[in-house]
Amino acid sequence: MTILWIEDDFGLDETLGDWLRNEGLEVLHAAGPKEGLDMLEKNLNKIKMILLDIMMPPEGVVDNVRSDYGKDTGLLLIEKINTITEKKKPIVILSARQGNLGDLATDSAVRERLEKTLGLEAIVQGIKDAASLLDDPRS
Amino acid sequence: DLPLSRRNFLEEVPTSKHRSLIAAPMIGSQGESYGILRCINLQEGFRILPGFLPSDLKFFKLVASVLARFIEIAQLASRRRRFMREMAHEFATPLLQAETNTAFLNLILTGRQTTKDPNQVIGSLKGHISHLQALVRNIQYNVRPDADFEASFKFDSPVDLHGLIEQIRKPMLSLARSRAIEIRGKTSQLPNLFVDKDRLAQVFYNLLYNAVKYSPHGSKDIWIAHDVIDENVGGHQSAKWHRISVSNYGIGIPKGEEERIFEEYVRGSNTQYIRQGQSGSGLGLTISRRIVERHGGILRLERLDNPTVFSVLLPAALEEGGPLL
């Protein structure tokens, strides 16, 4: 099972990323939105699910309004991901942002929303649950 | 010093023939102005109303001061909420990483994990813990009363500043490399100086961490470099300074915010909400400047962008002994 993780926080790939690999997932890590979309296009058949951060620098991917620079980059990315995947790949949001994310986060491709403060166990369980649905033909 | 003249008040109600008005400034507890509260009494048609009385004005002033206080409290509450939210963000990632490191160590100890190098895991864990400690210190320093904080500095022995900077640069390098950025040091010519070692370490930690935090993946090298300059900087006696500069090719500082970024709880307008890795308390630069100034030095922004350069200027006199303050 290969998942694409679009996440710009440094060091997370070496910790949480490696942990997910240890749990048997194949994790492709993209350090930013632009890199993420490129990786998705190149590995479209292989990637089964997208793990997505929200607050990232928007450069080269989405227009940003200076006053809330980068606040919704991940959410604005959902539409672009759906265009590439024809909405066929589920998205799991993993962000530090709390509270209501608005309409964009209710897109039907968004399978799960996880917060970084949930702790390792709950985050990993959430990701695995979302991934296991993929193996279930009924879903 | 009211921003609106009497004429403005009257022009706002062009249809009425007779009127009287009273106005009172809304002044907060720290003397800041929240505008003017006005009340216009219309005397039109069959409704014959008396003008305002001196007692009305007295009451009105009270209303204005109460409203000013309400506005003040509401603003304070909103600033506090933002600060709390930013702090929660700031702690979330290093905690998650430290937790993951711990879980890995557990697997390694019980023989269920063999691919990870335990030394690397411990190194990473140490890095996340020292980052959390630095965050806590920024808060702690900030809550201490000025006099108490200033008195707590120690200048009793000369410090190998180059060694100190290297101790910070090296662990920071692993963070930077995860973003494909190098941190280069050029501080070996720094002499030993009578400085407060731990406090100054906090300054260089904050500056270097900011440099990494605000640099996009794969950007040009971050530098921490030293030179000696001769300069008379505003009111300072020492003309010879050791300048330690931290430069990065990051998002830069918006023009016009050169001084604002040093204020408490203030961050560059282009940093808000960017992402968790870039969330911040807005305390780092404030506290760093206080620490440098306690050494008789200066912390300043030398260049806004390409690269952004922050410099710590320490008086050369610190080679001989602690600051004369």
Interface of B with A in 158-217 (CB under 8 A): 174-176, 178-180, 212, 216-217
Cβ-defined contact of B97 to A68 (cutoff 8 Å): no
pLDDT at B282 over 60: yes
H/E element holding A110? Answer: strand A110-115
Averaged pLDDT of chain B = 82
- Mean pLDDT to the nearest integer, B271-298: 71
Q: A85: which DSSP letter?
A: H
pLDDT, tens digit (0-9, with 9 covering 90-100), for B72-115: 898 888 777 777 777 777 788 889 999 999 999 999 999 887 78
Residue among B88, B179, B274 minimizing CB distance to A10: B179
For residue A71, the chain B residue with the least C-alpha distance is B273
Q: A22 to chain B nearest CA, in Å?
A: 8
pLDDT at B212 over 60: yes
- Token pair, residue B252, equals 């830069």
A22 near A65, Cβ under 8 Å?
no
User: Of A61, A95, A116, A125, which to mutate for an interface test with B (greatest number of B Cβ within 10 Å)?
Assistant: A116
- Token pair, residue A134, equals 């993929």
Q: Is B70 on the interface with A (CB under 8 A)?
A: no
Percent of chain B past pLDDT 90, that is, above it, reads 41
For residue B115, the chain A residue with the least C-alpha distance is A22
pLDDT, tens digit (0-9, with 9 covering 90-100), for A96-118: 877 777 777 778 889 889 998 89
The predicted structure's pLDDT at residue B5: 46
| Three-state DSSP state, A11 | coil
- Token pair, residue B316, equals 């050369």
Q: B45 to chain A nearest CA, in Å?
A: 49
pTM for the full model? 0.72
H/E element holding A77? Answer: helix A73-85
- Token pair, residue B310, equals 């922050």
- In one-letter notation, the amino acid at residue A122 is A
- Mean pLDDT to the nearest integer, B277-293: 76
Which positions ≥6 away from B179 have C-beta within 8 Å?
Answer: A10, A31, B212, B215, B216, B217, B218, B219
pLDDT, tens digit (0-9, with 9 covering 90-100), for B291-300: 999 999 999 9
B253 near B268, Cβ under 8 Å?
yes
Q: Which of chain B's residues have a Cβ under 8 Å away from the Cβ of A13? A: 178
Averaged pLDDT of chain A = 85
Length of chain B: 325
* Number of C-beta neighbours around residue B152 at 10 A: 12
Q: Which of A19, A20, A54 is nearest to A36 (CA)?
A: A54
- In one-letter notation, the amino acid at residue B24 is A
Q: Where are the beta strands (DSSP E) in chain B?
A: 18-27, 33-43, 183-186, 222-230, 240-248, 298-303, 308-315
Q: Which of B249, B251, B284 is nearest to B270 (CA)?
A: B251
Q: Is B113 on the interface with A (CB under 8 A)?
A: yes
CA–CA separation, A80 and A4 (whole Å): 14
CA–CA separation, B22 and A138 (whole Å): 73
Cβ-defined contact of A11 to B212 (cutoff 8 Å): no
Q: At what angle do helices A73-85 and A33-42 cross, to 10 degrees?
A: 10
